[in-house]
Structure 1
Amino acid sequence: MSEKVLCKPTELYNILNQHNRISRLAESNYLCLIDARAEGPYYCSHVITARNAKWFLFRFRSVELSYVSFIYLLNYFSIYLMFQGPAIDCANSLAKASRYPVQILIGGYERFSAIYPFFRTQKITYTIRELENMKPYPVEILPGQLYMGNYRHATNPRILKDLKLTALISISEDSSLMFEKGSCAILYIPVADSVDADLYSSFEQASIFLASRLNTGSAALICSTHGISRCSTLAMAFLMHHLKYTLKEAWGHVHQCKANMRPNRGFVQQLSNWELQIVGRKITDISEPNY
């Protein structure tokens, strides 16, 4: 029997928005999202891809569930589920069938849908094609404050509106990329995704730019062409500057938010040099395989 653990809304938000070339929600063994509320509220509104617990427990096979990487349970105010409530039976059934922890969402559906109302839906079933065509949002690095994504995210007016983004850092050697400025403050950093490229010299400028926006309650997005190498490098540099993280701590934080983030080796070395400047010594051994 696997354990039952509490998780924050931002964790589920990031799980829903993982993607490679297409959304990972199209993978059959990726996510099982169970809504343990009564059928009436569920049919009225639920989080995308969520299945009603009563219907799911009647149909599910424990063998199939044992291979699912992420299992999330939504109820009402789910922080109480660890101790009481009708959904605890559902949580126990899922835990018996799973190899992985059952994540019980703190605040349940109400809190998650209040923070991310654009993930509400009445749609119950999805085809594989519909799941493949879902447009993920940028991942959330700091809840409600800092996001990380690609060029498509930065040029999507709906995403800018939904996430209330008012600041943007664009890292690209392509000067032809165009953004609708509106009320958005934009910092351009013309750097290529190359092991020889110098992103280090922009770390301090970008960190000051982001800190000035976040300190006034604004939300910001860091983007690069594919949202994997340059933007993750800059996100880590900011966490090290703003929160005094070591490189190891910043790496773990960003990797938890976006599983396929991957700075190139040149940027990893620059982050190690940045750690020396910020912390005063090199603590993280970047020769380890995970770097």
Structure 2
Amino acid sequence: MADLLFCEPTELYNILNQVSKLSRLAEPNYLCLLDVRSKRQYEESHVITALRVKKELDAFQPYPVEILPGRVYLGKVSQACNAKMHKDLKIKAHVNISMETTPYFVGNADKLLHIKLEDTPDSFLFTYFRHICHFIELHLRLHSVILVFSTRGISRSVAAVVALLMHYNEETLKRSWAHVKKCKTNMRPNRALVAQLLEWEKVLHGQYLTDISEPIY
């Protein structure tokens, strides 16, 4: 008999947003959901967005994953250009870590932080970590919703949100990495970015606390 697990709406949202097809009863990973919220709460929840999107024209375009509930999302350029996603998630600011541009917040330095950086071993995101954290934390204080993204949403933007969590929650690289990994299972920051996150850990905590030689990194 399968285990009974409890999860928050955020976790369910991220699970539903990272599957390409619905599970079937005959499959070992069959997912049976028992929602204990009221019908009104369910209808108002953004969890339903992840289900609805599969029935529409952009069925193969999942929504950004949720890093901080209703506050910080992690995604890719194509999602950052999607008007419906902006409306559904109430996105009010962007952190763009890519060479691409988007049609939103152009020329508005208060709502757009654009770091033009390639995803290469010699790209140095470390010098921007503090600026990224301050930009996002300012918008969090203003109760704005922020989307952090890069070209594919698996390397540069992931490093940025890991750095944010390390600063915002005063956590180690290991704990922040685990949180983002749980939200986005296909995250793959390049090795140079992982090393830069370790240096960020030393800045925040005064010493290296995470062993990045472990296979999970």
Give the TM-score normalised by structure 2.
0.89
In the other structure, the counterpart of 2:34 is 74
Alpha-carbon distance between aligned partners in 1 of 2:111 and 2:208, rounded to the nearest angstrom: 33
Which of 199, 217, 231 matches 2:157? Answer: 231
Task: Indicate conservation of the 8 Å contact 1:147/1:220, yes or no.
Answer: yes
Alpha-carbon distance between aligned partners in 2 of 1:278 and 1:72, rounded to the nearest angstrom: 42
Q: In the superposition, relative to structure 1, how do residues 5 and 194 fare at CA in structure 2: closer, same or farther (>3 Å)?
A: same
In the other structure, the counterpart of 1:4 is 4
Identity %: 39
In the other structure, the counterpart of 2:20 is 25
Deviations 1:104-147 (A, max 9, x none): xxx366434312154565x9xx7xxx899432100000010000
Q: In the superposition, relative to structure 1, how do residues 74 and 167 fare at CA in structure 2: closer, same or farther (>3 Å)?
A: same
Deviations 1:205-245 (A, max 9, x none): 00000000011111100010000000000000000011111
Question: How far off is 1:195 after superposition?
Answer: 1.2
| Residue 139 (1) aligns with residue 65 (2) | yes
In the other structure, the counterpart of 1:103 is none
Q: In the superposition, relative to structure 1, how do residues 74 and 134 fare at CA in structure 2: closer, same or farther (>3 Å)?
A: farther
Alpha-carbon distance between aligned partners in 1 of 2:39 and 2:155, rounded to the nearest angstrom: 33
In the other structure, the counterpart of 1:46 is none
Alpha-carbon distance between aligned partners in 1 of 2:151 and 2:73, rounded to the nearest angstrom: 15
Alpha-carbon distance between aligned partners in 2 of 1:263 and 1:252, rounded to the nearest angstrom: 13
In the other structure, the counterpart of 1:287 is 213
Alpha-carbon distance between aligned partners in 1 of 2:129 and 2:113, rounded to the nearest angstrom: 12
The ranges of structure 1 where at least 4 consecutive aligned residues each deviate by more than 4 angstroms after the TM superposition are: none
| Residue 250 (1) aligns with residue 180 (2) | no
Task: Indicate conservation of the 8 Å contact 1:74/1:108, yes or no.
Answer: no
| Residue 150 (1) aligns with residue 110 (2) | no
Matches within 5 A, 1:156-195: 156-174=82-100, 177-181=101-105, 185-195=111-121
| Residue 111 (1) aligns with residue 19 (2) | no
Secondary structure of the 2:132 match is: helix
Deviations 1:2-39 (A, max 9, x none): 32121111111111211xxxxx332x6xx46xxxxxxx
Report which of the two has the higher share of strand. 1
Alpha-carbon distance between aligned partners in 1 of 2:177 and 2:90, rounded to the nearest angstrom: 26
Alpha-carbon distance between aligned partners in 2 of 1:250 and 1:109, rounded to the nearest angstrom: 34
Q: In the superposition, relative to structure 1, how do residues 72 and 216 fare at CA in structure 2: closer, same or farther (>3 Å)?
A: farther
Q: In the superposition, relative to structure 1, how do residues 277 and 247 fare at CA in structure 2: closer, same or farther (>3 Å)?
A: same
Secondary structure of the 2:6 match is: strand
> Which one has the largest radius of gyration?
1
**Unpaired runs of at least 5, structure 2:** none
Secondary structure of the 1:148 match is: strand
Task: Indicate conservation of the 8 Å contact 2:96/2:150, yes or no.
Answer: yes
Question: How far off is 1:180 after superposition?
Answer: 2.5
Secondary structure of the 1:141 match is: strand
Q: How many pairs were matched up?
A: 213
Alpha-carbon distance between aligned partners in 1 of 2:149 and 2:119, rounded to the nearest angstrom: 12
Give the TM-score normalised by structure 1.
0.67
